[in-house]
Amino acid sequence: MTAAETGHLVFSTLHTVNAGQSISRVVGMFDKEEEIQVRQRLAETLRYVISQRLVSKVGGGRALITEIMGSSLRTREFIALGESDNRNIQEIIEASLTKGWHSFDQCLLGLYEQEQVSEETALLYCNNKASMGQRLDKVKQTREGSRVLPASEFKLKLSPASR
């Protein structure tokens, strides 16, 4: 953090499951008495957290899923003050799609919509299973509603007057 505070570009890696846990991991590296100061320093210096995972693709192979969180007033507040009812990092990330940020769940849903990952894979690797289940159901309903019937299933019913 000292290097970042003096204007140096700093890259680091951590083994965590998402952006929120990355923040917790860094804060947890310091003593409890230092937490407020560490959170403030981190809020001021952190620019991006990019998390990645590999998941199984339909038909074999692996797909990259990512989560991207940048610095904004809301994320800096989350880092400085921690999570609360008003500060949920997943909601903050998902609301910032226009900034190019996205959550693992949004990335997984996109791959599911493209039929690159299965429903099981999406549920296995998501952060919020209840929310993901609802999102997957909406995609399935959309698919069923827009499904084109094969010619063998299409039966035209003519009224007696048009015969």
pTM score, two decimals?
0.80
The tokens describing 155, both together, are 């039966």
Residue scoring higher pLDDT (87 or 130): 130
Give residues with Cβ within 8 angstroms of 99, minimum separation 6. 70, 72
Average pLDDT over residues 83-107: 89
| Distance separating alpha carbons of residues 53 and 28, to the nearest angstrom | 23
Query: Comparing C-alpha atoms, which of 65, 66, 44 is closest to residue 56?
Result: 65
Q: Is the dihedral of CA 7, 13, 19, 25 positive or negative?
A: negative
Summarised one tens digit per residue, pLDDT across range 105-136 is: 999 999 999 999 999 999 999 999 999 999 99
pLDDT for 144 equals: 84
The tokens describing 58, both together, are 């339909």
The percent of residues in the chain predicted with pLDDT above 70, rounded, is: 88
The helix (H) or strand (E) run that includes residue 64 is: strand 62-70
Q: What residue type is assigned to position 81 of the chain? A: L
Average pLDDT over residues 57-62: 96
Domains of the chain: 2-139 (3.40.50.300)
Q: What residue type is assigned to position 45 of the chain? A: T
| Distance separating alpha carbons of residues 157 and 74, to the nearest angstrom | 58
| Distance separating alpha carbons of residues 110 and 139, to the nearest angstrom | 10
Summarised one tens digit per residue, pLDDT across range 147-159 is: 655 555 545 444 4
- Asked if 53 and 125 count as a contact pair (C-beta separation under 8 A), the reply is yes
| Distance separating alpha carbons of residues 106 and 128, to the nearest angstrom | 11
Of 78-82, 86-90, 107-111, 126-130, the range with the lowest mean pLDDT is 86-90
pLDDT for 157 equals: 47
The tokens describing 142, both together, are 């959309």
Strand pairing category for 62-70 and 48-56? antiparallel
pLDDT for 11 equals: 93
pLDDT for 29 equals: 93
